[in-house]
Structure 1
Amino acid sequence: MVKRVVLAVVQREYAAKLAEYLREEEPGWDIAAYTHDSALRRELQGNGKIDLLIGQPELLGQVMQMCGKAGKIVALVDGNSSVGEHWIEIGQYQPLPTILSSIRGAIGLEAAVSAEGCQTWTVFSASGGTGKTTVALNLARQAGERGLRVFYFNLESLNATALLFGKGEPDSLSRLLYTLQTHPEQWDELAKRAIRHQPQLRADYIDAPEHPGERLALTPELTEEFLRKLKSLGRYDLIVIDPDSGADEWHRRLLEISDRVLWLTLDDVQNLRKTEKLLRYWHEYFADKMYKFAIVMNKSNGNRFVNRLEMPAASEPILLPYIPQWKTVDQPGRLLSVPAFAGAVGELLVGFAGSDGTTNGGRRRREGGYENERTRSGGVG
């Protein structure tokens, strides 16, 4: 188990920021940071055990002959370094959560969360225009702020999340799906390279394809296997899934295997009738699983309904407020910054998951919970 950690980074501000973040996220680690080789040498010459040494190659290279007492060595590289013989390399200029995740993986801590400890929550609707992606993004953000390790998975055939995430590598999902079917033993390593972190969202993700072919080719079996492999990485407490609307077999299977389903609808007669028809169509599959469904009435103007959902097995709808200013929003990131909506989604997360604000099997990163969490830096460099 990691106890003593030595950080060796030339840039004083970078070293201070990374050390502070590691202390917050891993309170059991005793962290010492050094920016000069002379101070680092004195540390290495001491008698104390060092479980983990994290540093830049320029510092590590100067003291390499003294590093035998370090249990594990991780080098922070800028992308131009060759693979070190004596250490494991990770990228230095990444968001802080990604750096920590890479460090955990390098020293074998990623398996601390089992696949059974990771839950999948799907945000679904029977028709478009319900604000499904906005709810899914806010759900991921609120879960991340509560200390859960979150993966946001967009499965829309046509999506606009690149406005938030950037273009990235649009072939990532295609390669992962192909590898899963042809060389499944290589999938884990490819996935770790394809996964990115979005600091504002406080969640990991995979770049979405430019074209809808991958989504349209999904089968129930491929969907289930992909999620199983994603959970088996052991990196997440919660996967938030954002599929498009539809009544295909893979949609139904996705809802079946999800731990929670937030089914969005609006207070208009056409949307409600579509919801009723699809629930009845799938009733034989979901009859004994309605406990994991929550009907969510989005864009609500209050506690009064003009229309009613005529489904005896459905729960009373949960309300999310209508946000008029979103009609003029031109940046998706602004969808995450409305306190009234974020608060309502946070209550939904707590109410649907449990009174402690975590998913079953999830965990808080620190005692004190959400109210005492400090705003974390999204990245370094």
Structure 2
Amino acid sequence: MMYRLKLVVADSDQDYLKGLCSFLSEEHPKNIRVFSFTRKESLKEHLLSGERIDVLLVSPDLSCSCDSGQNVGITVILSESGVCLTGEHPSVNKYQSGDSLLGQVLDLYFQGVSGAESIYGNGSDTRIVAVYSPCGGAGKSTIAVNLAAQASLLGNSVFYLNLEPYSSSQYMLVSQGQKCLSNIFLYLNEESLLPEKIRSFKVRDMKYNVDFFLPPESAAELSGLDREATGSLLQGMRRVGLYDLVVIDIDPPLSEKNISVLENCDGILLLATPDRICRYKMGILPGELKKAGLDIDHKTITVINRDRGEAGIYSGEADFRLPRVDDVVLMNERTGFMEFNSYYAGHILSLARMVLGPRLLSVRSGRIEE
């Protein structure tokens, strides 16, 4: 059974406390039990009860009451002036994104508490699906991002991972952050730290409710990613334990990186288009896969994009067909953001159901005590 961390948050700023606890309860209901206090007396009474607390996250004005003793794993101060590790208790900057704050707190917890149990399980429930085509211009990234968005709409927690050296996804997913995929690469050899860094460095597109990484600083970083490093990244994505689905977008060459993705993922959407060049490349793909030592037939869904309804095109080979639609991605003049054509998105929604199967929605709850 997955361990649920008990986190006590104490801050006299009720608006801040409500916002932070809402984030924790909504985003991590399966992993964290949140208890919160705004008054010293209530906090002290809870501490004296002797009940085990994994993390006490407390503002300086309430910290004087936290004679925590042995029932608190670690005490972390919510500071307005930034991170400090040299005082009696470490501190974190309270005014940052919820993901960054939680990532820093969990880093301190796992580093400071001997035998601390992971709260995210082993990722056995996470399904990793690669979207791949041997043909350039097949609409792969549009389908991959749209698939992630539609899977999220179905109630799943979703991560979109783009491993193309030159990505177009930034035109469809929008967010800001200080860290990018380059920062994740620094921890690929740090098995114990990688999941926490993924949680800290990810960003979220609020329109589609999909998490992702900002692009790396250089395309060469992705081109040089080897088989072992890629495998470590995928295992890290599983061990994060936050996602029902991870959608991986890869480029056409059967590089070490892409071979590792196809080898280690749970399912593959193999995209083709009706044009002659793509049909030729699809014809030689089985031989190339065999040379690379890959057997992927058992986990592959073949998708024909821009299907014109022609009889005999990939006859008997297509598991799913997407219609030819002009302007699959549209610019919303009012918001300035790109949006998916609703007709095409409806077909992707059906594809998402095929990929995922039935899912149960989580019940999210939390409470605040005065």
| TM-score using structure 2 length | 0.74
Instruction: Give the distance between the partners of 1:169 and 1:30, measured in 2 at CA.
Output: 28
Aligned to 1:198: 204
Instruction: Give the distance between the partners of 1:74 and 1:50, measured in 2 at CA.
Output: 16
* Equivalent residue runs for 1:12-91 within 5 Å: 12-24=14-26, 25-26=28-29, 31-41=34-44, 43-44=46-47, 47=49, 49=51, 51-52=53-54, 54-65=56-67, 69-78=71-80, 80-83=82-85, 89=91
Percent pairwise identity: 22
Does structure 2 conserve the Cα–Cα contact (< 8 Å) formed by 1:121 and 1:259? yes
Q: CA offset at residue 214 of structure 1? A: 1.5
Determine whether 1:188 maps to 2:188.
no
Q: CA offset at residue 122 of structure 1? A: 0.7
Q: Unaligned regions of 5+ residues in structure 2, if any?
A: 111-115, 366-370
Instruction: Give the distance between the partners of 2:160 and 2:123, measured in 1 at CA.
Output: 16
Q: Could you say if the C-alpha distance between residues 188 and 281 of structure 1 is closer, same or farther in structure 2, counting changes exceeding 3 Å?
A: closer
Q: Could you say if the C-alpha distance between residues 299 and 23 of structure 1 is closer, same or farther in structure 2, counting changes exceeding 3 Å?
A: same
Q: Which amino acid in structure 2 is aligned with residue 351 of structure 1?
A: M
Does structure 1 conserve the Cα–Cα contact (< 8 Å) formed by 2:79 and 2:94? yes
Cα-to-partner distance string for 1:309-361 (whole Å, 9 max, x where unaligned): 4375x34334267363625468895336x55444433332221232x13xxxx
Determine whether 1:241 maps to 2:237.
no
Q: CA offset at residue 115 of structure 1? A: 4.6
* Equivalent residue runs for 1:344-359 within 5 Å: 344-354=347-357, 356-357=358-359
Q: CA offset at residue 250 of structure 1? A: 3.7
Instruction: Give the distance between the partners of 1:209 and 1:29, measured in 2 at CA.
Output: 31
Q: Unaligned regions of 5+ residues in structure 1, if any?
A: 358-363, 368-372, 375-381
Match of 1:156 among 150, 164, 180: 164
Instruction: Give the distance between the partners of 2:163 and 2:314, measured in 1 at CA.
Output: 29
Which one is further off, 129-138 or 67-76? 67-76
Match of 1:306 among 307, 310, 318: 310
Q: CA offset at residue 263 of structure 1? A: 1.7
| Secondary structure of 1:241's aligned partner | strand
Cα-to-partner distance string for 1:207-229 (whole Å, 9 max, x where unaligned): 32243211222333433343234
Determine whether 1:131 maps to 2:131.
no
Aligned to 1:377: none
Does structure 2 conserve the Cα–Cα contact (< 8 Å) formed by 1:194 and 1:206? no
Which one is further off, 8-17 or 50-59? 50-59
Q: Which amino acid in structure 2 is aligned with residue 62 of structure 1?
A: C
Higher helix fraction (1 or 2):
1
Does structure 2 conserve the Cα–Cα contact (< 8 Å) formed by 1:294 and 1:318? no
Instruction: Give the distance between the partners of 2:12 and 2:323, measured in 1 at CA.
Output: 48
Q: Could you say if the C-alpha distance between residues 226 and 135 of structure 1 is closer, same or farther in structure 2, counting changes exceeding 3 Å?
A: same
Aligned to 2:362: 366
Instruction: Give the distance between the partners of 2:99 and 2:193, measured in 1 at CA.
Output: 22
Match of 1:257 among 264, 267, 287: 264
Does structure 2 conserve the Cα–Cα contact (< 8 Å) formed by 1:119 and 1:259? yes
Does structure 1 conserve the Cα–Cα contact (< 8 Å) formed by 2:138 and 2:273? yes
Q: CA offset at residue 74 of structure 1? A: 4.4
Does structure 1 conserve the Cα–Cα contact (< 8 Å) formed by 2:4 and 2:30? no
Instruction: Give the distance between the partners of 1:145 and 1:102, measured in 2 at CA.
Output: 29
| Secondary structure of 2:225's aligned partner | coil
Q: Which amino acid in structure 1 is aligned with residue 139 of structure 2?
A: G
Instruction: Give the distance between the partners of 1:129 and 1:70, measured in 2 at CA.
Output: 55
| Secondary structure of 1:295's aligned partner | strand
Q: Could you say if the C-alpha distance between residues 130 and 20 of structure 1 is closer, same or farther in structure 2, counting changes exceeding 3 Å?
A: same
Q: CA offset at residue 284 of structure 1? A: 6.5
Match of 1:324 among 323, 327, 337: 327
Does structure 1 conserve the Cα–Cα contact (< 8 Å) formed by 2:203 and 2:214? no
Does structure 1 conserve the Cα–Cα contact (< 8 Å) formed by 2:159 and 2:246? yes
Q: Could you say if the C-alpha distance between residues 48 and 340 of structure 1 is closer, same or farther in structure 2, counting changes exceeding 3 Å?
A: farther
Instruction: Give the distance between the partners of 1:87 and 1:239, measured in 2 at CA.
Output: 36
| Secondary structure of 1:112's aligned partner | coil
| Secondary structure of 1:324's aligned partner | coil
Instruction: Give the distance between the partners of 2:228 and 2:78, measured in 1 at CA.
Output: 39
Which one is further off, 280-289 or 248-257? 280-289
Instruction: Give the distance between the partners of 2:92 and 2:137, measured in 1 at CA.
Output: 41
Instruction: Give the distance between the partners of 2:91 and 2:297, measured in 1 at CA.
Output: 47
Q: CA offset at residue 245 of structure 1? A: 2.5
| Secondary structure of 1:350's aligned partner | helix
| TM-score using structure 1 length | 0.72
Does structure 2 conserve the Cα–Cα contact (< 8 Å) formed by 1:76 and 1:91? yes
Aligned to 1:274: 281
